[in-house]
Structure 1
Amino acid sequence: MRKYADLAIIGIKEHTAYLNSVWANFLAKIVYLYMQYALWTGLFSSNTGKNIPLSQDETIRYIIVATVISTFMECDVIAWINNQIQSGDVANQLIRPLGYRSMIFAKHIGTSIARIMIYTLPLGILISIFYHGELICREQLLYGFLSIILAYLIQFLYSLIIGQMAFWLIVTWPLNMLLAAIYKLLSGSWIPAAMFPRVLTVINMFLPFRAIYGIPVTLITTPMSYESICENIFIQLIWLAVLFLVSEAVWIVGKNKLVIQGG
């Protein structure tokens, strides 16, 4: 356990190594949140949003919470595995007396801790200063935290599956760019899932993306019945189990096909 804790510390140090990059990322998140706020406020003010299923207040709350969650939900696993395989360093990682995927997860935990301290908490403080409305549904906050943990694990497994495809493809960034755009849209990170057209909503029901942002953000910001809360958390548990099994299958087959370049 101590070795995994050390890996988490390494993840923290790597993310905070370049202070200029840290400040740039933090400012980018503030600008992104302001642009989202200005966009949706202008949309509702011009009456263009009169047919939107969510009210202005509901939409603004959703966008703010989704942006805050995204500050630590982001995952660098795909790029990290890609670099390991291209450099050939994955061979050294595989012979260590530690589980390869467990090492990746420990490092990811460390990176997430750094992001929470550097981005999430300061951004939350700024929001509490400038936004004076009721942001969260306090009665559902505990369920919301549980949902965020499940979403975090789902995000990691999804990224791990795509990253492990580098065992076949060697370079996965073109695939990652395509899937990242689809993921950002369908997960509800950019636009609330409740605003999707009927066809897109039906398609999204058979994909894991809404379990990453759509479900936890809705649980935190929107009052729901106990049955609806349980149903949404159950959906996340199902996708967590499915992605875990897929990840196991990809790992078993992929490590036998691993081609090492550069080492």
Structure 2
Amino acid sequence: MGDPAALEVAELSFRYGRKEALQSVSFCVQPGEFCALLGPNGAGKSTLFALLTRLFVARQGKIAVMGQDLQAAPRAALARMGVVFQQMTLDLDLSVARNLAYFGALHGLSRREAALRAGEVLERLDMAERAREKARDLNGGHRRRLEIARALMHRPRLLLLDEPTVGLDARARASITAHVHALTRDDGLAVLWATHLVDEVTPGDTVLILHRGQIVQRGRAQDITPEHGLAAHFMALTEDTAA
């Protein structure tokens, strides 16, 4: 029997009252895989992330992280997961280093271990020279890098990022996507990257296209649309046929 998937989602459904936000969603993300979850606004991406992070509790379907069932063993599953939410959650009055130290303490790291890990993740994300700066003094791109660094402090095997480049300029977006791709390539980290921006996807990425709560396309980006390109294909799949 092989190693478990970093993330396994099976027959996951969710309703808000009578509205079905997700309908039998199933997919896996393997270690070392960058999986781009593409979908227009309202497709169900945020609902899926709320279920994956247990902000909502799934009543239909299964979620497992490195073989740990999120429903049966939530603490073990969440411990293997790092998360960057769409809305910023930094403490702007703390320095970069203190934001990381506080997060490390929440995960039971000693002060020394937290400092060592903070140095490692900041170096990896080209933020080492900003360790003493307050978070409020960082630009948008560096704040996002800090949030990614924080999500890596406890050495997760799965990294979830929900629209992590919203509001950033093209240069900052390209820099952050490159850093996260490097994490999958060099460290074997599994990544689920939710976005509606096709230019954040590279040819070797796995692509899941979510529309109206259902996965309508999956595969390697370079294999899905060899003729017309991913952007045109994405628009064709998700346009409202009733319009």
TM-score (norm 1): 0.24
Structure with larger Rg: 1
TM-score (norm 2): 0.26
